Amino acid sequence: MADPIDQVARTFDDASDRFDRLTATVWGPAGQSLVFALRLHPGDTVLDACCGAGASALPAAAAVGPTGRVHAVDVAADLLELGRLTAEERALQNIDFVCADATTWEPPSSVPEAGYDALAISYGVFFFPHMDASFARLVGLVRHGGRVGVTVWRAGAMTEFTAVVFDVATRYSPALADRQSLRDRTPLHRIDTPETLEAWLAAAGCHSVQVDVMPNLLPATDELCWNLVVGTGLHSVLEGLDEPAVEALRQDLLTEITERGLHTIDATTLVGTATVRRPPATV
Ligand SMILES: C[S@@+](CC[C@H](N)C(=O)[O-])C[C@H]1O[C@@H](n2cnc3c(N)ncnc32)[C@H](O)[C@@H]1O
């Protein structure tokens, strides 16, 4: 059995060719919303865990300005390279894209002893095999009064689309019949309503929790549908298929989407933020 983090890295590296085509419609709006909700200040030091190609890390770097710093961490080296290129294009010199497992990340000595000013995790926290413990550890890297924020798919988002993808992909790879959706095979289902996400952030030792719903209803064009398969974690359904099989699957999928009358893809997202409360140090 492959290590789950290696598996995630492989899937997202495989998805990297198309991943950025979803930035304008999917990753970008959530990343921007998260950064806005975190209320960053110029000069802040920010950790962006599971940064991908920088959908939240790049706007964070712009928000904290040249006196601030962003550590953007991910296990998918090819996505990090995309992020570096975008940062270069935008002349952002205050962002470091680092290939590392966020669950064991140790801040470099340049981070103030009190900790980061903010932590951002956009569409990433539910990939952690031990979500609660890993999130608590990352929250522990943020100073008292610092800010933390996550984005997650809202319950029901991507569900109908993912069901069609699995139904069609199973015709090509029968083993996928047993494969659970992202919501069921990860802890996402525990934090995908405003109420459960709010309670989860509070349980991680945070106060002033706020969860906003970011509606995102995207027209199900052929291009978007296929990018959502090839450029996301769904890429794993193509594993082991040769090029003609992938093309046949693509055609079948688009036909099935038309036949089922799926006109809109629900990419509605929850943006949850909170302020860190550290227990007073004991002497
Ligand atoms: C859906 S993508 C989101 C990327 C980015 N935050 C965005 O919104 O565009 C999820 C990312 O989480 C990363 N990831 C998952 N587990 C990770 C871990 N333990 N450490 C670092 N990155 C991880 C994946 O490699 C992938 O890039």
Tell me, what CATH number does 148's domain have? 3.40.50.150
Predicted confidence at residue 4, as pLDDT, reads 86
DSSP string for residues in the chain:
---HHHHHHHHHHHTHHHHGGGIIIIIHHHHHHHHHHHT--TT-EEEEET-TTTTTHHHHHHHH-TTSEEEEEES-HHHHHHHHHHHHHTT--SEEEEES-GGG----TTS-TT-EEEEEEES-GGGSTTHHHHHHHHHTTEEEEEEEEEEEEPTTTTHHHHHHHHHHHHHH-GGGGGPPPHHHHSGGGGS-SHHHHHHHHHHTTEEEEEEEEE--EEE--HHHHHHHHHTSGGGGGGTT--HHHHHHHHHHHHHHHHHTT--EEE--EEEEEEEE-PPPPP-
Residue having the nearest C-alpha atom to atom 17 of ligand 1: 50
Asked whether the predicted pLDDT for residue 160 surpasses 80, the reply is yes
How many domains is the chain built from?
1
Asked whether the predicted pLDDT for residue 179 surpasses 80, the reply is no
> Which of 17, 50, 56, 75 is the best mutation target for the ligand 1 pocket, counting ligand atoms within 8 Å of the beta carbon and taking the most?
50
The per-residue pLDDT of the chain, averaged, comes to: 95
Residue 234 maps to a domain: no
Residue 55 maps to a domain: yes
Residue 173 maps to a domain: no
| Span from the CA of 258 to the centroid of ligand 1 (angstroms) | 31
Q: With bands split at pLDDT 50, 70 and 90, how would you rate the model's confidence at 282?
A: low
Predicted confidence (pLDDT) per residue in 84-100, tens digit:
999 999 999 999 999 99
Q: With bands split at pLDDT 50, 70 and 90, how would you rate the model's confidence at 1?
A: low
Predicted confidence at residue 281, as pLDDT, reads 65
Asked whether the predicted pLDDT for residue 3 surpasses 60, the reply is yes
Q: Which residues line ligand 1 (CB under 6 A)?
A: 5, 8-9, 12, 27, 31, 50-52, 55-56, 73-76, 79, 101-103, 122-124, 127-128
Residue 272 maps to a domain: yes
Asked whether the predicted pLDDT for residue 278 surpasses 90, the reply is no
Predicted confidence (pLDDT) per residue in 21-78, tens digit:
999 999 999 999 999 999 999 999 999 999 999 999 999 999 999 999 999 999 999 9
Residue 11 maps to a domain: yes
Q: With bands split at pLDDT 50, 70 and 90, how would you rate the model's confidence at 283?
A: low
Least confident of 66-70, 168-172, 180-184, 236-240: 180-184
Q: Average pLDDT for residues 165-178, to the nearest whole number? A: 91
Predicted confidence at residue 185, as pLDDT, reads 79
Residue having the nearest C-alpha atom to atom 4 of ligand 1: 52
Least confident of 11-20, 175-184, 201-210, 255-264: 175-184
Q: Average pLDDT for residues 208-214, to the nearest whole number? A: 98
Atom number in ligand 1 closest to CA 102 = 20
Q: Are 145 and 116 in contact (CB under 8 A)?
A: no
Which residues constitute the domain of residue 123? Answer: 4-156+182-218+267-276
Residue 228 maps to a domain: no
Asked whether the predicted pLDDT for residue 2 surpasses 90, the reply is no
Q: Average pLDDT for residues 132-160, to the nearest whole number? A: 97
Residue 211 maps to a domain: yes
Percent of the chain with pLDDT over 70: 99
Residue 48 maps to a domain: yes
